[in-house]
Structure 1
Amino acid sequence: MRTRHTGAATLAALTALTLAACGGGGEVGGGGEETGGAEGGGDSIKIGIKFDQPGLGYQDAGEYTGFDVDVATYVAGELGFEPDQIEWVEAPSANRETMLQTGQVDMIFATYSITDERKEQVAFAGPYFVAGQDLLVAEDNTDITGPEALEGKNLCSVTGSTSAQRIKDEYAEGVQLVERPGYAECVTALTAGQVDAVTTDDIILAGLAAQPANAGKVKVVGAPFSEENYGVGLPQDNDRCEDINAAITKMIEDESWDEFVTSNTEGTGYEPNADLNPPTPDACA
């Protein structure tokens, strides 16, 4: 249930209690301006997302859309923050750990896979989604049904990504790798016939396919061959993990999770891996 705190006296009391619980240092959840702990009620909460992933985290003319945005808004609501109390912050992949460690954000929802290596630097709640590496192909392509079918084909991924190289190393040694600066450029190359497929996580591909410019032109193959657990990135000294996991569980139980997936991938034919989704959040460390 969402909790609102109104009135200066209530807000002042809540702030005082929170500061006392933190030893008076005023550093709640790794930084940011909010002061309400798990109950919210502070000025704002800073949430890191991607700004350039259609269908997941996308910023356009001051509007923020996508599955990660919807999930983050829901979770923040359960923590007591209204949508207008959320400050969205761009969280590029390479900067996510630093942003959490230095208090630039309070939490991150940005296709952030939970790994043991990352757990040495930050904490995670969730997962709230389990993605898998997949392929995006032309709508009328019936030949490419999985990574093994890419032998001799042209495969696009973004510069610096390891996903395309993984296919070359493990599935199709003769695949020709093509790099582009972003996935949007890869999709442009695909629709122009310059490449045969694009690879990254399946829900990222579905978000790209759902864009109006790509509608009816491309499709997700639907044969994921990896497992990526998307978690909520948190500072290691946070006290929110259990509350976030409770919010994720509620989101799944009241079917909001299904609505968020559907609304952000509509028209692409994409279905999350039913053996892995919806996920069950892990116990907090």
Structure 2
Amino acid sequence: MKLRKVSAAAAAVVVLSITATACGGDGDKDNAGSGGGKTIKIGIKYDQPGLGLKEPGGKFSGFDVDVATYVAKELGYKPDQIEFVETKSADRENALARGDVKFIAATYSITDERKQKVDFAGPYLLAHQDLLVKADSKISKATDLNGEDLCSVTGSTSAQNVKKDFAPKANLQERSGYSECISSLQSGAVDALTTDDSILAGFAAQEQYKGQFKLAGLKLSNENYGIGVKKGDTETVNKINAALEKMVKDGAWEKAVKDNFGPANYKNEPAPKIGVIVK
């Protein structure tokens, strides 16, 4: 009888140990990055050189990556505790709502429509729609595109804006991705490529393209890049804003700009003020 009592007690200890271990295991990994766990999931783009790029070896690089890494550090996470998750433009709001990621830094322009679905920290970069042309191109303004071949990604509003507002006689050539547009520009199949200047600078800064292209320097629109956070998560927004302000103050923001866009001679705007949206 005594033996059975000891066994029952031992069994109870084992059960309690297993339960405690299981509970501890759940807390070890902070899937959405609530700030107390050991990992944080951050949404980025995987296919934008200079901004968010997953390289062949699995390394991540780009301005958005540098900003996200800095912010995560201020939230208490080391680089090896970050899990970057690809978030395509069409799925960004859903990814935040589902809790797939803690925040998103992925050329995410702050708009009134998006603010109805998510909250934004920042902005952390003011970009503009621009043109990328060959280094010796004489195209210097949007109206010069009349009669010229203009490339953009299928479904992009950028090229449509150019045709509607500046160059109705431009010959629009659509490609499935910006890489294809760059190849067409390099070969002379098109005369210009249009999208955000930060994206254009990122592509132009790639080693294989250095010196071949230039930005026209036009400001056809204002794109205020913000960090998307789940709607209602004011605490995280405030923490990210504090991190962004610190990044600018200590020079890390400017360094990230030069490291990622410098080779394209990108004339970036000064770091924007938190909460100030340029229309």
2:272 equivalent in structure 1:
279
2:171 equivalent in structure 1:
176
2:46 equivalent in structure 1:
51
Distance 2:59 2:108 in 1: 21
Offset, 1:219: 1.1
Runs of 4+ residues over 6 Å off in structure 1: none
Offset, 1:223: 1.8
**Pairing 1:161–2:156 present:** yes
Matches within 5 A, 1:83-98: 83-98=79-94
Give 1:259's match in structure 2, choosing from 255, 258, 267.
255
Distance 1:124 1:281 in 2: 10
CA spacing shift, 1:35–1:244, aligned 2, 3 Å: closer
1:103 equivalent in structure 2:
99
Offset, 1:148: 1.4
Contact 1:33 1:43 in 2 (8 A): no
Kindly name which structure, 1 or 2, has the bigger radius of gyration based on alpha carbons.
Answer: 2
Offset, 1:221: 1.2
**Pairing 1:269–2:251 present:** no
CA displacement, residues 257-279 of structure 1 (integer Å, 9 cap, x when unaligned) = 11000000122111113xxx210
Q: Which runs of 5+ in 2 are unaligned?
A: 1-19
Matches within 5 A, 1:59-70: 59-60=54-55, 61-70=57-66
Distance 1:182 1:267 in 2: 22
Contact 1:89 1:105 in 2 (8 A): yes
Query: Which is helix-richer, 1 or 2?
Result: 2
Q: Which runs of 5+ in 1 are unaligned?
A: 1-11, 17-25
TM value normalised by structure 1: 0.84
Contact 1:56 1:207 in 2 (8 A): yes
2:147 equivalent in structure 1:
152
1:211 equivalent in structure 2:
206
TM value normalised by structure 2: 0.86
Offset, 1:34: 3.1
Question: Number of paired residues?
Answer: 249
